[in-house]
Structure 1
Amino acid sequence: MLQTESTAWVCSVPVATVWTAPEKVRPVDAAGIAEYPNLNHWLQSMNQEDNQDLVNSNRIQTQLLYGEPVLIEEVVEDWAKIIALWQPCQKDERGYPGWVPITQLKEVETLTELGYARVTQNKAQLWTENFKPLKVVSFNTMLPVKEIGEFIRLQTPDGDALVMTDAVEIVSAYNQRPKGSGVDIATHGVRFLDLPYLWAGMSSYGFDCSGLTYNLMKANGVIISRDAVDQVLEGNGIDSQNAENWQIGDLLFFAHDEGKGKIHHVGVYYGNGLMLHSPKPGKSVEIIELAGTKHEVELYAVRRFTEIED
């Protein structure tokens, strides 16, 4: 499975779930690990207990989006041990590690001359060259651009595809776009209100808390680590005891033992004492008032990733 300098292995399905180990898969997860996974069917087939078990049993790590590159370390039967190269973390300096069904990966030619098209809508339709529906892809999916015209021609794992120009923005690299403001970050987050929480979720089918913050930052030109325990070490520290210094778009981090223990949650400051976040299994992305909640006493740190606003 060694790749050459002119090729790369990428995610070949709209969303691929990265597992802690192949044996962590349950019967209820069949639709999620299929060659053509059905995310909606998988999510709908899980009850509250199944969703909580994803957390309690440490079954899944993160997710990949269509076209996202990986490094394959080894293949064991039908599974590939991979590194998600666009998702920084402390677990591996190269990116996020885990296991993915080999049928959800494909080797493609490396192409970066015209940059990438980043999906700006919650979901976007990709079309074949004769305008047949190809795939529906998630917010923040990034695919190499081959031609810019009335439609954007893209390189995909399924060959050339077209996307409407108003569904994407063109960026020079996956980690290079003009930085948005804190208000931009919060505004992007509002579009996901009522989206169900998914442990390890990294797509507009469902986010976990740090998956939401990672993707909101990515959409606004800032690449941060995948997990909250790593995100809290980045950006600029803001006095967590003085809310008057907080800005919309700052990230708020929370820890057990009334803010003195292990970090377990992150959200986006929405101004006026409010937070936008993806809470936990059984809940959905929401805006809450911090006062009077457990989050008020569990606040650990406030970090800023945007410029200071007047």
Structure 2
Amino acid sequence: MLQTESTAWVCRVPVATVWTAPEKARAVDAEGIAEHPNLNNWLRTMSREDKQDLVDSNRIQTQLLYGEPVLIEEVVNGWAKIMALWQPCQKDERGYPGWVPSSQLKEVENLTELGYARVTHHKAQLWTENFKPLKVVSFNTMLPVKEIADFIRLQTPDGDAFIMANTVEIVSAYNQSPKGNGLDIANLGAEFLDLPYLWAGMSSYGYDCSGFTYNLMKANGVIISRDAVDQVLEGIEIDLHAQNTWHIGDLLFFAYEEGRGKLHHVGVYYGNGLMLHSPTPGKSVEIIELAGTKHATELCAVRRFVDEEA
């Protein structure tokens, strides 16, 4: 399953979960690791304790979206050790590492001449060439463009497919979306209010805190690292003690031991002392007032990734 120069291995399912190791998958995760995973069923069958165990037992690392390219290092007993090439991190300079069922990957022809279509809606329907429903794909899914019209013809792991033009934007490369401002980032994030938290989540079925910030930035033309511990080292440092200098769209970082310990959370500054974030298992994307919360005492850094606030 090694790539050639003319082909690439990509995710062939709407959302593939990347596991720390194959043995980390549990019986309750059967719907998530199947050849045709059903994310809704997987999330529905997990109890709150099961979802918390994803965190406590370090079971999953990140997720891949349909068509997202990976580098395959090895395949063992139906599992592929991969690097997610579009997800920067310090764990591996090639991309985010982990394990995916090999049945959820497929080799496709490299095609980038007309750029990519990036899904701008929470979910979008893909259609076959006979205009039958093919797959529902997540926000920020990016697929190579073959022809542009009212329906965009795309290259997908399932062959040519169509998507409505008003559900996507055309970009020249995966990291070349038009640059938004801070207000664009905050407004986009607010569209996901009440979306349940999912540890390692990278899709509009559920985000973790840094998956949320990564995807908001990516949609606004800024590629940052996948994890908060890496994101905090990027961008421009802003004085965390001078809230009047913070811009809407800045990222706020939090650490245990009143900001001096291990970094554990990231959110988006929403202005007026408010934060937009995906908090923890059992909760959903929300806007909170920082004052009077543990976050106010745990704030350890403020970083800016776009120059303009609005």
Is residue 200–residue 208 contact of structure 2 (8 Å, CA) maintained in 1? yes
- Please show how residues 90-239 of structure 1 align to structure 2 within 5 Å: 90-239=90-239
Partner SS state of residue 72, structure 1? strand
- 1:302 match: 302
Partner SS state of residue 163, structure 1? strand
Partner SS state of residue 18, structure 2? strand
TM-score, scaled relative to structure 1? 0.99
Alpha-carbon distance in structure 2 between the residues aligned to 1:80 and 1:184: 37
TM-score, scaled relative to structure 2? 0.99
> Is residue 38 from structure 1 mapped to residue 38 from structure 2 by the alignment?
yes
- 1:293 match: 293
Structure 1 residue runs of 4 or more that deviate by more than 2 Å after TM superposition? none
Partner SS state of residue 185, structure 1? helix
- Measured after TM superposition, the shift of residue 3 of structure 1 is 1.1
- 2:60 match: 60
Please, what is the CA RMSD of the aligned residues?
A: 0.7
Alpha-carbon distance in structure 2 between the residues aligned to 1:35 and 1:305: 38
- Measured after TM superposition, the shift of residue 144 of structure 1 is 0.1
Partner SS state of residue 154, structure 1? strand
Q: Which amino acid aligns with 1:58?
A: N
Partner SS state of residue 23, structure 2? helix
Partner SS state of residue 184, structure 2? helix
Give unpaired runs (5+ residues) of structure 2. Answer: none
1:215-255 Cα shifts (integer Å, max 9, x gaps): 00000000000000000000000000000000100000000
> Is residue 277 from structure 1 mapped to residue 277 from structure 2 by the alignment?
yes
Alpha-carbon distance in structure 2 between the residues aligned to 1:76 and 1:218: 32
- Measured after TM superposition, the shift of residue 51 of structure 1 is 0.5
- Measured after TM superposition, the shift of residue 178 of structure 1 is 1.9
Is residue 181–residue 308 contact of structure 2 (8 Å, CA) maintained in 1? no
Partner SS state of residue 252, structure 2? strand
> Is residue 255 from structure 1 mapped to residue 234 from structure 2 by the alignment?
no
Alpha-carbon distance in structure 2 between the residues aligned to 1:51 and 1:285: 16
Alpha-carbon distance in structure 2 between the residues aligned to 1:309 and 1:96: 30
Alpha-carbon distance in structure 2 between the residues aligned to 1:233 and 1:102: 33
Partner SS state of residue 50, structure 1? helix
- Measured after TM superposition, the shift of residue 177 of structure 1 is 2.0
1:263-288 Cα shifts (integer Å, max 9, x gaps): 00000000000000000000000000
1:77-128 Cα shifts (integer Å, max 9, x gaps): 1100000000000000011000000000000000000000000000000000
Partner SS state of residue 169, structure 1? strand
1:138-194 Cα shifts (integer Å, max 9, x gaps): 000000000001210000000000000000000000001221000000011011100
Q: Which amino acid aligns with 2:277?
A: H
- Measured after TM superposition, the shift of residue 308 of structure 1 is 4.1
Partner SS state of residue 265, structure 1? strand
- 1:246 match: 246
- 2:21 match: 21
Identity of aligned residues (%): 82
Partner SS state of residue 107, structure 1? strand
Q: Which amino acid aligns with 2:306?
A: T
Partner SS state of residue 188, structure 1? helix
Partner SS state of residue 267, structure 1? strand
Alpha-carbon distance in structure 2 between the residues aligned to 1:187 and 1:261: 31
- Measured after TM superposition, the shift of residue 309 of structure 1 is 4.2
Alpha-carbon distance in structure 2 between the residues aligned to 1:179 and 1:280: 29
* Equivalent residues, number: 310
- Measured after TM superposition, the shift of residue 206 of structure 1 is 0.2
- 1:4 match: 4
- 2:50 match: 50
Partner SS state of residue 131, structure 2? coil
Q: Which amino acid aligns with 1:65?
A: L
